Amino acid sequence: MRSLVQRFAARVRGSRRYAYLKEYEGLQWHSREELEADQFDRLRALLQHAYKTVPYYREMFMHAGAHPDEIKSRADYAKLPCLTKDIIKRNRNALISSRFDVNALHGNSTGGSTGEPLQFFQEMGVYEQMCANLMLGLKMAGWREGERVFSIWGNPRDFSKKRSVFGKIREILSTSVILNAYKYNEDIFNSWIAAIRRSSNAFIYGYPSVISDFAHHIVNNNVRLKNVKGILTSAEQLLDDHRNILEKAFHCKVNDQYGSRECPGIASECAHGGMHLLTHSSYVEFVDDPEAQGETKKVVVTPLNSYAMPFLRYEIGDYAQPLNSVCACGRGFPLMRMGIGRLYDRFVCEGGQVLHGTLLVRQVAGIRGIRNFQFHQRDLVNIDLNVIRTTAFDEDDRVKIEAINTNLAGLSVPRVALRVNYVDSFPQTVGGKHRIFISDVRS
Ligand SMILES: [Zn+2]
């Protein structure tokens, strides 16, 4: 019943999200070939638009001696140059389509793991499609419309009184209750528990780091919470340690969604554990890269719905592996597997040598007494490892942590000195997101 009321309320507000949701839900059962054909049609329409109305792309095509009409295959498209964050910063105005009034657009920005945030513009339609993709992701994880979603969200902008299009997370799901992840402590966790208990079937959505802290509180205090039906995490890397503690505390499956503010709706994990690429929303390429490890490749994304400021072949900064297998859920959306570590999760050390974040994460993975951690590079040599311990932290864990320096010295990596600090909390970032890597070294 609540769901019908919400649909009606959304229609009165002029919301398109339910129309998009219906379209996407219909698409998911098509074959992979049909979906990829549909995806390519969407890409070609975006290319024509970019060529005709976006000065930067007009010039890029001219410079490359190419025309959108000539792009007839994935291989053709892959010949175009990639877009980087630096290019966007230098050409922000030239990337805006002349078909849009810049004053009517929503200014958005990324949090930025290192360095300054990336500023860009999006039209209202992108927000509605993002809402639809979020609902699709929840449904793929087992949520049913009308079931209460607790959004544990941490951006202080989202709690400001001033209305902002992307800020009002509450509007993403009208069934949603927002728990302010920007400020939390034991008392606040208890109030969240009480709120969740009042709901019959609850879903939790939000940052994996914050929900994990909440989960530790639940486990440490032997709280029995049986009515959480599923968890959808987003916006940060979901580590195996997060997944383990979430499953232990909430007795339900954890699903991850992959996307970012500039590229919403890239992939979503289904109840069978398949990370499905959302072909109606993003065109994803997996590109060979010297820094890719194992089977992973560099992810290059073209958001298919951003017409105000199109991003063609955007280097989002992640690694992942394309999979050719078919998922047991029966959806035609292709599959991928996330890689650990983002491109910018690396430290530049002495002589410009690079130390990969993945390597550092591996050193602490599996140490059971660690609740959360953060690597903070102070200068070219010194790195602080800030650790929040669980109550189960023991001597064995301490020995393992102290061995990390010796382990690193035995590998062919740049010379670094790691100092371990045991802390109670990490400083909050502006976006409320937990950052695994922080660097004071400017490249
Ligand atoms: Zn699946």
Distance from residue 39's CA to the centre of ligand 1 (Å)? 19
Q: Return the pLDDT at 1.
A: 46
Distance from residue 299's CA to the centre of ligand 1 (Å)? 20
Distance from residue 277's CA to the centre of ligand 1 (Å)? 10
Q: Return the pLDDT at 176.
A: 66
Q: Return the pLDDT at 188.
A: 84
Distance from residue 140's CA to the centre of ligand 1 (Å)? 8
Distance from residue 40's CA to the centre of ligand 1 (Å)? 22
Distance from residue 276's CA to the centre of ligand 1 (Å)? 7
Distance from residue 360's CA to the centre of ligand 1 (Å)? 31
Distance from residue 141's CA to the centre of ligand 1 (Å)? 9
Distance from residue 214's CA to the centre of ligand 1 (Å)? 28
Q: Most distant CA pair in the chain: distance in Å?
A: 66
DSSP state of 176: E
Distance from residue 270's CA to the centre of ligand 1 (Å)? 5
Q: Return the pLDDT at 342.
A: 59
Distance from residue 154's CA to the centre of ligand 1 (Å)? 29
Distance from residue 312's CA to the centre of ligand 1 (Å)? 27
Distance from residue 206's CA to the centre of ligand 1 (Å)? 21
Residue numbers in the chain where pLDDT is lower than 50: 1, 112-115, 156-170
Distance from residue 347's CA to the centre of ligand 1 (Å)? 35
Distance from residue 37's CA to the centre of ligand 1 (Å)? 20
Distance from residue 144's CA to the centre of ligand 1 (Å)? 17
Q: Return the pLDDT at 152.
A: 82
Distance from residue 352's CA to the centre of ligand 1 (Å)? 42
Q: Are 358 and 239 in contact (CB under 8 A)?
A: no
Distance from residue 269's CA to the centre of ligand 1 (Å)? 7
Q: Return the pLDDT at 136.
A: 96
| The pair of three-digit structure tokens given for residue 123, joined into one six-digit string | 């039209």
What CA–CA distances, in Å, run from 95 to 51, 69, 135, 371?
Answer: 11, 20, 30, 42
Distance from residue 28's CA to the centre of ligand 1 (Å)? 10
Distance from residue 333's CA to the centre of ligand 1 (Å)? 8
Distance from residue 271's CA to the centre of ligand 1 (Å)? 7
For Cα atoms 367, 234, 337, give the angle at the middle one, nearest 5 degrees.
70
Q: Return the pLDDT at 215.
A: 93
Distance from residue 335's CA to the centre of ligand 1 (Å)? 8
Q: What is the CA radius of gyration of the chain?
A: 22
Which residue, among 207, 261, 266, has the nearest Cα to 233 in the 3D structure?
207
Q: What are phi and psi for residue 85, nearest 5 degrees?
A: -60, -40
Q: Return the pLDDT at 132.
A: 93
Kindly give, in sequence order, each residue whose CB lies less than 8 Å from that of residue 216, ignoring residues fewer than 6 positions away.
Answer: 245, 249, 371, 390
Q: Return the pLDDT at 114.
A: 42
Distance from residue 74's CA to the centre of ligand 1 (Å)? 24
Distance from residue 213's CA to the centre of ligand 1 (Å)? 28
What CA–CA distances, in Å, run from 413 to 143, 375, 376, 381?
Answer: 45, 16, 17, 12
With the CA atoms of 166, 168, 174 and 175 taken in that order, what torsion angle do they form, in degrees rounded to the nearest 10? 110
What CA–CA distances, in Å, run from 204 to 170, 198, 214, 345?
Answer: 13, 14, 11, 27
User: Backbone dihedral region of 115: left (phi > 0), alpha (psi from -120 to 50 degrees) or beta?
Assistant: left
| Separation between Cα atoms, residue 171 and residue 260, nearest integer Å | 18
Q: Are 126 and 17 in contact (CB under 8 A)?
A: no
Q: Return the pLDDT at 63.
A: 92
Distance from residue 235's CA to the centre of ligand 1 (Å)? 20
Distance from residue 324's CA to the centre of ligand 1 (Å)? 13
DSSP state of 134: H
Distance from residue 340's CA to the centre of ligand 1 (Å)? 21
Distance from residue 268's CA to the centre of ligand 1 (Å)? 9
CATH of the domain spanning 346-439: 3.30.300.30
DSSP state of 53: H
Distance from residue 38's CA to the centre of ligand 1 (Å)? 19
